[in-house]
Structure 1
C-alpha cells in the first residue's frame, strides 16, 4: 500500500498547471518566486523576534543600541539585495523589450525579402507569437487603432498595421487604399492587343485613327440588340455592317431582319451559325427577288429550306452555301433541276454527309451554263466528279480542293477541256502519290490557258522548278494579278533542302521567271513555305532598283533565307506595298518600316507580331517626287527587271 501511494505521489508530482506570462519570464531569467517569498518572510520573522526579545529583557540603551545596529545592518543588507534584484529585474526587462523590438525589425525585413522573391524563413515568428496580445472577442469594446474611437468588435473587424483593430469606417478606408495600391502596382496590360491581332488575321492592317464611318459601324455592332432598323444605306456599308455583326457573333434571328429589304437582289450573311431553320425561310419570304445568296456556316439549313427557296426565289442565279450538311443528295438534285439554265455560280464547302459524285453529275447535267464553280472539302466527291466538271464549257472561274487523290491524267483532261475560257484557276492539294514528279499539269496550263488573272497552285510536291520555268516563260497569258504557289516543295523531311540536281516545287529559276512574266501587274504574291528559293534570287528581284508598282501584299513565311536585306529591298522596290508577312523568317532583325506598311511575323520585333511604319524614308520621298513629276507629264513608266 505504501509503495502504491508513493508511486501515485511520484506520478502526481509531475503534474503542472498553466503558467502565466510573468512566471515564464521569471523562469527564463533564473528568478524564483518561492525564493523571494521565503526570504521576505524570514526577514519579517527575524525582525519580530528581535523586537520581542528586546522588550522581554528590558535591556538598556546600550544593548538596545547594539541590537539596533545589528538590525540596521541586516536591513541595509536586505535593502541592498532588494535593490540589486530590482536592477537585475529591470535589466532583464530591458533586454526582453530590446529582443522583442529586434524580432519585429527582423520580421519586417523577412517580409520585404519574401515580397522580392527571397526564400529565407523568419526565425522570429514563433518567438513573436508568445508576446502577441490576444485579439478581443466579438462583442467586446475596443479602441480603434487609427482614430482611437471606441467601437464594438465584430468578426469582420479589420486589423490595423500595428496589430490593433480598426472601426468600420477606418477599415473601409484601409481596404480602399489597399485596392488602389494593388491597382497601381499591376503592370500595364495592352488591352487592344487582341483586337489588333484579330484585325490582322482579317486582313485589316490600317494604322492610325479610325474614320467616322468605321466608328459609327462599330457603335452599331456594340448595340445590335437595341436597333430597330438600319434604313436605306449603300450596299457596301450594309455589307460591312454585316461582316462586323458576324465577327462579333451578333448575327441572330433578331438582327438578321435588319439586313433584309424587299427590293434587295443580294443577301450575304457571313456567319449564320446562330440562325434557325425558320430564319432561312424568312430570307426568301422578305426578299423574293434575290438573285445572289451567300450563307456561311449555315449549319441549320435543311431540305425544307431548299423547297421553300425553289418556290419563292425564282430569280436566284448565284448560290453559296458553306457548311450545309443537313441537305440530302436528293434535295441537291432537285435544286439543280429547279434552277436549270439560270444558275451561273455555285459554291459549296465543308460538306461531309452528302453531296457525292452523282450530285456533281446532276449539277453539270441540269446547269450547263455555270460560269463560276467552287467545290472545296467535300468528302464524298472523287475522280468521277472531275470528268463531270470537264463538260462545263462556259466555266470562267474554277476552284477545286479534293480529299481523295486525283490522277494526273484526270487533271490534264479537265484543264484541256475548260482551260481556254478560265479567268481563275485554283487547284489546291492535288497530289498523285502513285507516280513520280512530273510537270505535265503545268505544261497543259501553259498550252491551254490564255486569260488567267488569278492562279493558285498549292501544296504540291510533284512539279519541279523546271516545270514552273516552262510555265511562265513565253506564256501568251497576260501578266497575272494574283499568284499563290505556297507549299510547292519537296516533302522529304530527311532532306529539307531537296534534291540538288532537280529542285521540287517553285525554286530560284521558277521565281525569276514568275516575276519576269507577271511582275508588272502583280498585286498579291504568296510564296509561303517555298523553301528552295535562294537568297540570291530574292535579293536580285527586290534590289531597290527594279520596281513593281502594283504589288500590295506579299507572304514570305517559312522561307528560311529571307533576311533584313530582302525585306528592306521589298520596301524599296514596291511603292504600293501595304503588308509583308514573314512568319518563321528568323534572319529578319530590326527593320525600319516605312509609313503605311505593316510587317507581320518578324521574330525579333520586340515581342510584337506586327510593326507599323511611322516614318517616311528618303527613297520613298524621292520615289514620290519622281512619280508626281511623271504624272504631271502625263506618263508613268515603271522600271522592270
Structure 2
C-alpha cells in the first residue's frame, strides 16, 4: 500500500540545490541534528569556562545579554552608516558622470595628447570589467549587497551594476532634478479656480465670511430647513451657486420661496416638475420678476396657474419653455400684457410664432425690453410688429432665418431714436447700409452687439464711429466679424469685419467710457493697430473686461500695453493667443486662456505688483530678446511712447 502511495505521488521540478543534497545523501533532518549538536557543545564549553573562572552562572548570563545588546547597537550603527554612504555615493556618482563628460578632448588639441588619451582609453577598455549577464550574481556598486542581475538592472556612476533599491533611488533623484517644481495650486484646486474665473468670480486674498457661509450652506444643502430673512441680492447669489452645483431640487426650491418675495431667479429648473412651478406663484403672490432657465417642465397648466395667481408680473424671462402652446401665450398677453415691461424668451422651438409677436403691440404696449433669441419659428415678418413698440429701449433679436437688410433698416429707422441697447447676434447678412442707418437713427445707444457677421467692411465700421453723434458706448461686441475663406486665409483686399482702421476709430470714439469689449476672432486686426491703441499712454479709465481670444496679433507686448492703458482692468480673456509668454500680470487682474504664461500669472497675479515697475520689466525683457538695448533707452517700437 505504501509503495503504491509513493508511486502515485505527484512530483514537481526540483532545484539544483535539492538535487545536490540528494546526490550527497544530505537531508534536512541531518542538518537540523548537526545544528542542535553544535549549539549543545557551545553551551557546554561556555559553562565549563565559567566554572573554571569561578563566576556564577547568573552573572555569566547577564554578561552575555549585555554583550549581545552592545553588538545589536553596533550593527544598527553600521547599518545607518552604510545607508548614509549609499546616498553619498549616489550623489557623488551623478556629479562624477557630468565631470567625465567634461573631460573629453576638445577640438584643436595637440596630436600627441590625442594619441595619449586614445592609448589610455584603449587600455582602460581592455581592463574594464565585463558586465555580468542576466541571471548571474553581482555585488551592488554602492551598497555592496549581493543581488541577481536582470535586464533592467541600472548602471552605477563607475560603470558597475546597482541593486533594485539603489537603482530606484538613483532614478528618483534624476527625475527630481529634471522636473521643475510647480508653483501655485494644482489638481482639483487649480480646476476650481479656473472654473470660477470663467464664471467671472475674481477672488483676491482671503474669502469673506459671507462667501464662506454661502459655500457651507451649499455643501450641506440637503440639511438646510430655512434660510431666514436674507436680502434679495444674497438670495439670488445663493440661487446661482445652487444651480451651478446641481443641487436646485424641489426641497431646495422651498428655501427661496417666501410670501414677501417679489423676485425669483432660477438658472436651471431641470430637476423641477410642473407642480414645483405652481408652488412659486402659490407661495409668492406678490411676485413681479420671474426668471426661469431651462424651464422644460413649465407647461400650459403652469402658465394657467400663473395667470390666475400672479397679477403683478412685470418681468418674464423663460429659457427652453417649449411646452407652452401658442394659444396660451396669446391668452397671457391678453390678460396681463399691459403690466409687462420686460419679455425675454430663448430657445423656443415648438411654439411662439409670428402671430404671438403681432399680439405684443396690441396687448403689451408698455414693453421696454424685448429679447427674442433662437426662437426658430419666427420669420422676418415679425420685425414689422416689433417696430410698433413705441416705448422699446432695449432690443435683442437672434434667429436663423435669412433677413433682408431693408427690413432691418426699416426697424432701426422706426425705433432707433429711443434705443439704449441694440443686439443683433448671428445676423450674417448685415452690410454697411445697416451701419449707415444705425449712424443716422441711433443717438442714445450704450450697448451695441453685432457678431458672427462676414459682410460688413472695415471701412463701413470706421465710418460709423467717425461720423457718429452717439455718446461713447459702454459695451461693444463685434466678435467673429471677419471673412471666412479657407482658400484665402489672409482675407480679401478690402478688409471684412472689424479691421485695423475701424478698431482704431472705435477706441477713439468710445474708449473714454468703454467698460466691456469683445473682439474675439477678429483676426484682421493688425499688430500695428493694437500697439497704436494700447500704446501705454492713452488711457481707458473705465475698461474692466476685454476678450481678445483668437486675435493672432496679440502678443506679450500688446498685453503689457493694455495693462498700462486700463488701470481699472479686472479680466482678460485671451484663448488662442499663443504669442503671449512670460507676461507680468498686475495685482487684481485675472488672465484666462494663456497656458504658456500660466506660471507668471500665478506668481504675479495675486500679489501687489506696481504697474509701472511691472511694465518696465516687460519692456526690458522684450528689448533683451530682440536686441534693442536695456531698459531706459529709446525703443524702436513705438508702444510706450
Q: TM-score, normalised by structure 2?
A: 0.69
SS across alignment from 2:423 = strand
Task: Work out the CA distance in 2 between the residues paired with 1:194 and 1:21.
Answer: 57
Residues 17/401 of structure 1: CA separation in 2 closer, same or farther (3 Å cut): same
Count of residue pairs brought into register by the alignment: 473
Q: CA contact under 8 A between 1:498 and 1:504: conserved in structure 2?
A: yes
Residues 476/106 of structure 1: CA separation in 2 closer, same or farther (3 Å cut): same
Task: Work out the CA distance in 1 between the residues paired with 2:489 and 2:408.
Answer: 28
Correspondences of 1:365-380 after superposition (within 5 Å): 365-380=362-377
Correspondences of 1:351-500 after superposition (within 5 Å): 351-432=348-429, 438-500=431-493
Matched, 1:257 2:268: no
Whose Rg is larger? 1
Gaps of 5+ in 1: 1-14, 34-97, 115-121, 123-160, 162-186, 624-640
- 1:309 is matched with which residue? 306
- 1:4 is matched with which residue? none
Residues 203/26 of structure 1: CA separation in 2 closer, same or farther (3 Å cut): closer
Query: Displacement of 1:417 after TM fit?
Result: 1.3
Residues 99/306 of structure 1: CA separation in 2 closer, same or farther (3 Å cut): closer
Task: Work out the CA distance in 2 between the residues paired with 1:378 and 1:399.
Answer: 12
Matched, 1:271 2:268: yes
Task: Work out the CA distance in 1 between the residues paired with 2:477 and 2:496.
Answer: 16
Residues 198/18 of structure 1: CA separation in 2 closer, same or farther (3 Å cut): closer
Gaps of 5+ in 2: 1-6, 26-134, 156-162, 166-181, 617-640
- 1:552 is matched with which residue? 544
- 1:536 is matched with which residue? 528
Query: Displacement of 1:438 after TM fit?
Result: 3.5
Query: Displacement of 1:189 after TM fit?
Result: 5.2
Query: Displacement of 1:111 after TM fit?
Result: 6.7
- 1:562 is matched with which residue? 554
Q: Give CA deviations for 1:512-534 in whole Å, capped at 9, x if unaligned.
A: 11111111101111110111111
Q: Give CA deviations for 1:146-177 in whole Å, capped at 9, x if unaligned.
A: xxxxxxxxxxxxxxx9xxxxxxxxxxxxxxxx
- 1:221 is matched with which residue? 218
Task: Work out the CA distance in 2 between the residues paired with 1:192 and 1:608.
Answer: 18
- 1:584 is matched with which residue? 576
Task: Work out the CA distance in 2 between the residues paired with 1:16 and 1:301.
Answer: 81
SS across alignment from 1:473 = helix
Residues 17/195 of structure 1: CA separation in 2 closer, same or farther (3 Å cut): closer
Task: Work out the CA distance in 2 between the residues paired with 1:292 and 1:449.
Answer: 29
SS across alignment from 2:317 = strand
Residues 480/606 of structure 1: CA separation in 2 closer, same or farther (3 Å cut): closer
Q: CA contact under 8 A between 2:432 and 2:456: conserved in structure 1?
A: yes
Query: Displacement of 1:102 after TM fit?
Result: 8.3
Task: Work out the CA distance in 1 between the residues paired with 2:346 and 2:395.
Answer: 14
Task: Work out the CA distance in 1 between the residues paired with 2:222 and 2:431.
Answer: 57
Higher RCO (CA < 8 A, seq sep 6+): 2
Q: CA contact under 8 A between 1:582 and 1:601: conserved in structure 2?
A: yes
Q: CA contact under 8 A between 1:554 and 1:579: conserved in structure 2?
A: yes
- 1:598 is matched with which residue? 590
Residues 414/582 of structure 1: CA separation in 2 closer, same or farther (3 Å cut): same
Task: Work out the CA distance in 1 between the residues paired with 2:602 and 2:615.
Answer: 26
Q: Which moved more, 1:469-478 or 1:609-618?
A: 609-618
Query: Displacement of 1:621 after TM fit?
Result: 9.9
Q: CA contact under 8 A between 2:205 and 2:606: conserved in structure 1?
A: no
- 2:4 is matched with which residue? none
Q: CA contact under 8 A between 1:593 and 1:614: conserved in structure 2?
A: no
SS across alignment from 1:428 = coil
- 2:114 is matched with which residue? none
Task: Work out the CA distance in 1 between the residues paired with 2:318 and 2:568.
Answer: 35
Among 567, 574, 586, the residue aligned to 1:575: 567
Q: CA contact under 8 A between 1:599 and 1:610: conserved in structure 2?
A: no
Q: Give CA deviations for 1:100-124 in whole Å, capped at 9, x if unaligned.
A: 788995557557669xxxxxxx9xx
Task: Work out the CA distance in 2 between the residues paired with 1:99 and 1:406.
Answer: 84
Residues 16/442 of structure 1: CA separation in 2 closer, same or farther (3 Å cut): same
Q: CA contact under 8 A between 1:319 and 1:345: conserved in structure 2?
A: yes
Query: Displacement of 1:330 after TM fit?
Result: 1.0
SS across alignment from 2:469 = coil
Query: Displacement of 1:21 after TM fit?
Result: 7.5
Q: Give CA deviations for 1:342-386 in whole Å, capped at 9, x if unaligned.
A: 111100101111111122112333212211000111111111112
Q: CA contact under 8 A between 1:281 and 1:305: conserved in structure 2?
A: yes
Task: Work out the CA distance in 1 between the residues paired with 2:348 and 2:14.
Answer: 87
Residues 396/23 of structure 1: CA separation in 2 closer, same or farther (3 Å cut): closer
Query: Displacement of 1:388 after TM fit?
Result: 1.9
Task: Work out the CA distance in 2 between the residues paired with 1:284 and 1:574.
Answer: 46
Task: Work out the CA distance in 2 between the residues paired with 1:504 and 1:99.
Answer: 75
Matched, 1:619 2:588: no
Task: Work out the CA distance in 1 between the residues paired with 2:8 and 2:523.
Answer: 86
Query: Displacement of 1:603 after TM fit?
Result: 3.4
Q: CA contact under 8 A between 2:138 and 2:148: conserved in structure 1?
A: no
Q: Which moved more, 1:365-374 or 1:516-525?
A: 365-374
